[in-house]
Structures are given as structure tokens and as C-alpha cells.
Amino acid sequence: MSTAAVYARKSQEDARSAEDKSVDRQVAVARDYCAEHGIVVASVHVDDGISGGEFRDRHGLTALLDAANRGKFDTVVVMSLDRLGRD
């Protein structure tokens, strides 16, 4: 059975955007996707109010990468690739 880590990020600029970018919404969509595809959610990592251009002070991303290095999951699920970072 496949296991996944869910990652969600919302920047301060996203606060002006639609509700669909909220971290709660992103996590819910990712959990639904996993349930529909028989994927077990091993962990959820969130950075709220952090720019996609910032990589040093993203505690959720750091925890995600640490869990990946320890082999805690085999897939990362995000609502869209721009949640991981810009460019």
C-alpha cells in the first residue's frame, strides 16, 4: 500500500486570493485524493503565511524533507506544484 505525506502552503499574498488556497482546504483536497486512490496519509506538513520563494524558514517543508530522508512515505501530495515553491 502506498503512503503519502501531504504538504500545504499559503503565502501572505494568497490571503487576498480565494478560499481554495487556505491550508485547511489544501489538506482536505489532498486527503480526499488519497482516500480515492487508496493511499494512506502518513503525515501532514503545513506552512501558513510563508512565501513560495522562501526555503530556509519553512518549518513544514523542513519536516517534510526530514520525513522523506527517513523513508516515512513514498509519495508527496500537494494541491498544486506551486505550493512547493515558485519556479
- Low-confidence spans in the chain with pLDDT less than 70: 13-21, 87
- The span from the CA of 20 to the CA of 44, in Å, is 18
pLDDT digits (tens, 9 = 90+) for 10-29: 987 655 555 556 999 999 99
CATH match for 3-83 among 1.10.1040.10, 3.40.50.1390, 3.50.50.60, 3.40.228.10: 3.40.50.1390
Residue holding cell 488556497?
A: 21
Domain parsing of the chain, residue ranges: 3-83
User: Could you tell me what percentage of the chain is helix, strand and coil, using 3-state DSSP and rounding each to the nearest 5?
Assistant: 40, 25, 35
- How many CB atoms within 10 Å of residue 56? 6
The whole-angstrom separation of Cα 32 and Cα 38 is 10
